[in-house]
Amino acid sequence: MFSSVWSFIKRHKRKFIFTGVVVGGVYVLGKYAQKKMGEFQENEATEYIAQARRQFHFESNQRTCNMTVLSMLPPLKEAVVNQLNSESLTALLKAKPANKLEIWEDLKIISFTRTIVAVYSTCMLVVLLRVQLNIIGGYLYLDHSVGKSTATPLAPPEVQQQYLSSIQHLLGDGLIALMTVVKKAVQRSLGGVSLKQSLSLLELEQQLSWIRAEVEAEEERPMSWYMLADAEDALADQACGLTGNDLATIKLLNETRDMLDSPDFTTVLNVTLNRGFSRLLDDLAEFFRPPPGDSASCFAPDSLAAVSLPLAKIIPIVNGQINSICSETPSHFVQDLLMNDQVKEFAANVYETFSAPQELQK
Ligand SMILES: *[C@@H]1O[C@H](CO)[C@@H](O)[C@H](O)[C@H]1NC(C)=O
Ligand SMILES: *[C@@H]1O[C@H](CO)[C@@H](O)[C@H](O)[C@H]1NC(C)=O
């Protein structure tokens, strides 16, 4: 069933650096759909059974989505680290150069930028894939449901592949644009803070809030801008005329954009980001424990402000966070994001919308 996707990939190998994992996700989805189709043929489709299957199909789709997110974290991390390479600065520092202070200042900006970008992009990956896989999942459900002519699939394999490969924007141009904006905000907020200055966890949280406010306040660049390229850009290669499949992909991308611009999506992304950044602070808090035997209890409400560390000591701690944020083994960070009830509820709404037979009449 997906042989056409594979041969398409083979022909365009170099163009699809990141699609391997995405196609992996679709492949699993397709395998599942194939199995379901067999089951469908064995049974009478009563309304009740159809509902139950739709639900089952949905649950399976969410597992596919979680697996796809996890499989995309290593390439995401690689893309961030390639662009914001603090390791090369650390290596320079080991040689004790004359411009040591200057390099430390760079390291300060790069470390914070890459950790903040890692939180943003991981959160975006989670919600974007939820939207995309539930849109496509809804269509696949319709394509394989009883009574639907299989002669005219809504989402043929080539369209699925083309549509899902749009995730490359978040790992490419979208990511670069996000880095630029975050870096600017980090410079404004931490640029003037001396390496010797001590910060408490509470002050660190304040800094992160300022940076977030600045990044998210960009008027002419809504957050969806980092997640989805313009449809024209996404299909720029097909300049010599659009096929029926191209138009189907553009339609899917249009529907996705509408979804990303909806107030519900903004809320869900915000909730996810809140979760991500508070998880980051929890992880940083491990390093701000009062020394053992200190009379100030670790659990006192003001313990957040009790311990301060010089910024120069905080930098390596912040710098290392990307490893747990973008960890390929399910870390508590990404687990937290994937298990979020509001994200699940939103996913269910997207799926409900796109798997409803009324869509056919549109
Ligand atoms: C997609 O959206 C653009 C701009 O809103 C519109 O011009 C175009 O006709 C839409 N394409 C499809 C296939 O729906
Ligand atoms: C995002 O969430 C925070 C914390 O709940 C809230 O103060 C803020 O208004 C929200 N922003 C948007 C755009 O929903």
What are the pocket residues of ligand 2 if the criterion is a CB atom closer than 6 Å to any ligand atom?
266-267, 270, 274
Q: What pLDDT, on a 0 to 100 scale, did the predictor assign at position 38?
A: 58
Domain ranges across the chain = 70-361
pLDDT band at 290 (very low <50, low <70, confident <90, very high): confident
Q: Which ligand is nearest to the CA of 209?
A: 2
| Number of Cβ within a 10 Å radius of residue 121 | 27
Q: Which ligand is nearest to the CA of 252?
A: 1
Q: What pLDDT, on a 0 to 100 scale, did the predictor assign at position 68?
A: 87
**Does 269 or 165 have the greater pLDDT score?**
269
Among 162, 245, 253, 254, the mutation site with the greatest number of ligand 1 atoms within 8 A of its Cβ is 254
Is the minimum distance from the CB of 257 to ligand 1 under 6 angstroms? no
The residue whose CA is least distant from atom 14 of ligand 2 is 267
Q: Establish how many alpha carbons lie within 13 A of residue 245's alpha carbon, considering only the half-sphere containing its beta carbon.
A: 12
CA 330 – CA 69 distance, rounded (Å): 10
- Tell me: pLDDT of 267 over 70: yes
Ligand 2 centroid to residue 342 C-alpha, Å: 14
Q: Residue 308 pairs with which residues in a beta bridge?
A: 200
| Closest-CA residue to 243 (of 331, 156, 141) | 156
The residue whose CA is least distant from atom 11 of ligand 2 is 270
Question: DSSP assignment of 325-359, as one string?
Answer: HT-SS--HHHHHHHT-HHHHHHHHHHHHHHHSGGG
The region that residue 20 occupies, defined by phi over 0 for left and psi between -120 and 50 for alpha, beta otherwise, is alpha
Q: What pLDDT, on a 0 to 100 scale, did the predictor assign at position 3?
A: 46
**Overall average pLDDT of the 337-341 stretch:** 90
| Closest-CA residue to 86 (of 60, 112, 61, 67) | 112
Report which ligand 2 atom has the smallest distance to the Cα of 216.
13
Q: Which ligand is nearest to the CA of 231?
A: 1
C-alpha triplet 229, 231, 237: angle, nearest 5°: 95
Report which ligand 1 atom has the smallest distance to the Cα of 247.
13
In the chain, the percentage of residues whose pLDDT exceeds 90 is 44
Ligand 2 centroid to residue 258 C-alpha, Å: 21
**Does 34 or 54 have the greater pLDDT score?**
54
- C-alpha distances in Å from residue 155, one per residue of 144, 159, 349: 11, 6, 19
pLDDT in tens, 307-332: 899 999 999 999 999 999 998 787 88
Structure-block tokens of residue 138 = 């809804």
In this structure, what are the phi and psi dihedrals at residue 309, rounded to the nearest 5 degrees? -125, 145
Q: One-letter amino acid identity for 328?
A: E
Q: Report if pTM > 0.95.
A: no
Ligand 2 centroid to residue 183 C-alpha, Å: 22
| Number of Cβ within a 10 Å radius of residue 152 | 8
Ligand 2 centroid to residue 266 C-alpha, Å: 9
Q: What pLDDT, on a 0 to 100 scale, did the predictor assign at position 293?
A: 62
pLDDT in tens, 49-95: 677 777 888 888 888 888 888 889 999 999 999 999 998 999 998 88
Ligand 2 centroid to residue 270 C-alpha, Å: 6
- Tell me: pLDDT of 256 over 50: yes
Ligand 2 centroid to residue 40 C-alpha, Å: 44
Do 31 and 5 contact (CB within 8 A), yes or no? no
pLDDT in tens, 179-223: 999 999 999 999 999 999 999 999 999 999 999 999 999 777 788
Which residues are CB-neighbours of 161 under 8 A, at least 6 positions away? 5, 8, 9, 19, 22, 23, 26
Do 68 and 133 contact (CB within 8 A), yes or no? yes
Question: Cα dihedral sign for 40, 42, 47, 53?
Answer: negative
Structure-block tokens of residue 166 = 């749009």
Where would I find the H helices in 144-200?
A: 157-164, 168-171, 173-190
